[in-house]
Structure 1
């Protein structure tokens, strides 16, 4: 398989060419102390792309510690995500970083780019990136500032109102539909400054439509008619057709925190320590792959202390564990530092396999997506196994024979109920979404799959139920108090147990 890699430029160099980016908070995001007469828009565009998947701060705290442990990809004794305990720093990380960096960068760029035919492709791409960021935000917290966000640049709005999730979702779908259509291969783009697809407009169109699938399917229970409408529209407009279309962001091994993978870098540099990490693979994840002889296990996991990636040797840590059974951390499985946890491990932002699983679910529901659930499911499993070649050749890739054995031993349940089929599809998506804890957390809440056993720990803040959201950045009580209070009056108390709009 030919994988499309995306070369990251040094953020330090890029940052020197951009407007100053703030770390967190609306009051910082909406300040515009810089008056550039000749902004380096291509460099700003590059940095916006890098920020779409977040930086070390939100990925370490919000992803690795919270979301990925809530959905039992990983586990840690006393971990906030494993035990459902509230940590203001961890819970607020995604909120502050996304508004302060990712969205800040996009809104700054939009404020200095003229809306002309020469800039139309850049503008449409920014609209698509904005959807990535806002969907993650609203799925994690519920209502968030949306329509007034970024208006400090041209509207002097420094305390933006929160919007209902229904209104946000309606606009996300509109943005993707319009932006995908407006992309024009006959017009200029940004050349090699586009890390995603090197200014290949056709691939950007597929990305817009594939993301539309993700956004639309999130409405499957709260508004199934709209979900069906936009899933079918996205499919008809053209989505990813192979792993070559997958959005893969490549990283370098150094310098640390500049070009390294934002999910893995702090983990490898500070926490792993030859197997001494407190965060390990969850028993839920390891047992599922071991019990099904999943060939991906040797690529995902190893015992860091010995370098042993033999699937038979892998052991996951129960999420309810208060310490390490036997007292030896080194006996529990770590993410493989030869593959998925390399400092330069690429980030899989959105994949062809995910698209196939969404289409499989749509087919189960009887929606018009041009194929059978079984075919889409099998394509998804195969693609999910094959895409792991992006992590290098230090561990043998999954072979065709291994895939055939796996899919024959665990075939799609064509004679099963709708619920059984969807459980099978979402469980495979859960495996695929390793290291994308936020998306896995959203899919778990939407579907209830995979089936997880809740942790009832006395230190928890949810009375033994799996969280339904994260708690807002509490600085909002100071900087945006009236709008924050209005949002929780509509949505419900600012608790981890409060369900958001689409979570039915």
Structure 2
């Protein structure tokens, strides 16, 4: 992270301690903030931005061990690769999001004066709230939404769960309203904004780009509404280059809030000179090797030897019961010189993802401008070029390498719509590396990339790829009636239960 952000982070951490932001659950979410007599609004805003990306707890358990292994970015001898169940791992995102990210946002909203000088901060918080709630509802299905956070001003400590349809309708409304209300002529938070340093134009693009993602999720369950909001987002203005991508920078230490929440626990506790129990999946490595993808040298290496030669990379099969050959060091790890540095930035939302959504929209016949081929090619190029955010220890992808790749594997202009969408989503799956939750959602929405399920006797799904995570089981104690009402509407609290937008 640039030096000018370090002090901001430190202030944010102090603010976090002052606010006693807790780890999980609705008790913490609804902690009475009346003790706050002089809230440091900018510091609280900074911490809210950090929490949008999640912390080690949910990223290690829900992302690395579950979602990213479901979609075969990574593999291990158990856990997500075999669809086993752990209440701690499955409930990690639920508890941490309500207890930290949403807690911080609702607490800040409850103490922020309703005045013009705070308007832009409020709109930004609404956008961040959508990020968190979309991840939650996509992962679990129905979740507490409209009554969440009402402990601050409504004395509701056991919030009811809302249908996913109602949540999605409100997510779209929030993004539409917040993006429009952002005003470059009003005050913001200066450099306390780690995302865009209070550049309102870029925040507007973020709101619209997130609207694009939210809307496309409805492509099967409500294609008319999906089309309406995809077109509206494009008309309002979405990301147009990698400069618009939402990138959160990190520091190498101390461990905790300042370090990358995906990489820090992995590097500190598990990687151990190539002895990691989690490796790149054979599915991921083979796809990149077989297509001579120039990104492979940036993504992967054999940690024990430092070898990032693409020809040497080897992925672990997701159905493996032991490491073939018995040596973990022979299998590819995320590259600690680039993507797995402790201070590696987080690519929260990329311009490449937006281009792939637009390419799919064109295939579906929606009015977003351009051709599917052009959006696809621009997406692949952006996905390769954005890797420069991970530093210069490994050579960047060159223009010549991109040209060779896109010429060798061109967009399937003569293919069927299904073939085109498969090609688009497969590229999106690559760029969503380390964002397992989003890749898991896109897999369920589209069925791509085509993955071979694992049928292991330790698994919970009888050989089918999970469709959701199981709720935080503390809800059976603290919010039992509302939990039971949700599963009565949605279906049993199982990994195989499909959520509202997940249609066959």
Shift of residue 5, structure 1, vs aligned partner:
9.6
- Per-residue deviation at 1:132? 0.1
RMSD, aligned α-carbons: 1.8
Aligned partners of 1:134, 1:228: CA distance in 2, in Å? 21
Query: Cα distance 1:395–1:6, how it changes in 2: closer, same or farther (>3 A)?
Result: farther
Q: TM-score, normalised by structure 2?
A: 0.98
How much has 1:117 moved relative to structure 2? 1.0
**Whole-angstrom CA distance in 2 between matches of 1:241 and 1:253:** 30
Q: Deviations over 1:23-48 (max 9, x none)?
A: 11112211215421211000000000
Provide structure 1 residue ranges, at least 5 long, that are not aligned to the other structure: none
CA deviation map 1:262-320 (0-9, x unaligned): 00000000100000001000000000000000000000000000000000000000000
SS at match of 1:394: coil
Contact persistence 1:17–1:44 (CA under 8 A): no
Residues 16 and 44 of structure 2 are in contact (CA less than 8 Å); yes or no, is this contact kept in structure 1?
Answer: no
Q: Distance in 2 between matches of 1:464 and 1:451?
A: 15
C-alpha distance in 2 between matches for 1:7 and 1:388 = 26
Shift of 1:4: 13
Could you tell me how far apart the structure 1 residues matched to 2:2 and 2:256 are? 28
Whether the aligned pair in 1 keeps the contact of 2:281 and 2:318 (CA below 8 Å) is yes
Runs of at least 4 residues off by over 6 Å: 1-8
Tell me, what secondary structure is at the counterpart of 1:248?
Answer: strand
2:243 maps to what in 1?
Answer: 244
- The structural deviation recorded for 1:15 is 3.2
* TM-score, normalization by structure 1: 0.98
Deviation of 1:14 after TM superposition, in Å, equals 3.6
Deviation at 1:126, TM superposition (A): 0.2
For each residue in 1:164-202, what CA deviation from the matched residue of structure 2 results, as whole angstroms up to 9, or x when unmatched?
000000000000000000000000000110000000000
Contact 1:77 1:319 in 2 (8 A): yes
Measured at CA, do residues 334 and 441 of structure 1 come closer, stay the same or move farther in structure 2, by a change above 3 Å?
same
2:143–2:162 contact (8 Å) kept in structure 1: yes
Question: Is the Cα contact below 8 Å between 2:136 and 2:143 reproduced in 1?
Answer: yes
**Partner SS, residue 316 of structure 1:** coil
Distance 1:344 1:320, change over 3 A: same
Report deviation, 1:18: 4.6
Q: Which moved more, 1:123-132 or 1:258-267?
A: 258-267
Query: How many residues are paired up?
Result: 503
CA shift in 2, pair 1:339/1:498, >3 Å = same
**2: distance between equivalents of 1:14 and 1:375?**
47
Alpha-carbon distance between aligned partners in 2 of 1:240 and 1:344, rounded to the nearest angstrom? 25
Q: Deviations over 1:307-344 (max 9, x none)?
A: 00000000000000011001000000000000000000
Q: What is the distance in 1 between the residues matched to 2:23 and 2:306?
A: 37
Q: How many angstroms apart in 1 are the aligned matches of 2:7 and 2:345? A: 10
Query: Tell me, what secondary structure is at the counterpart of 2:7?
Result: coil
**Could you tell me how far apart the structure 2 residues matched to 1:480 and 1:255 are?**
36
How big is each residue's C-alpha offset from its partner over 1:72-97, in whole Å with a ceiling of 9 and x where there is no partner? Answer: 00000122x10001110000000000
| Alignment check: 8 A CA contact 1:128 1:179 kept | yes
CA shift at 1:114, angstroms? 1.6
Distance 2:237 2:27 in 1: 40
Could you give the per-residue CA deviations for residues 206-229 of structure 1, whole angstroms, max 9, x where no partner exists? 000000000000000000000000
Q: Look up the SS of the partner of 1:180 in the other structure.
A: helix
| Contact 1:6 1:197 (8 Å CA) reproduced | no
Contact 1:14 1:47 in 2 (8 A): no
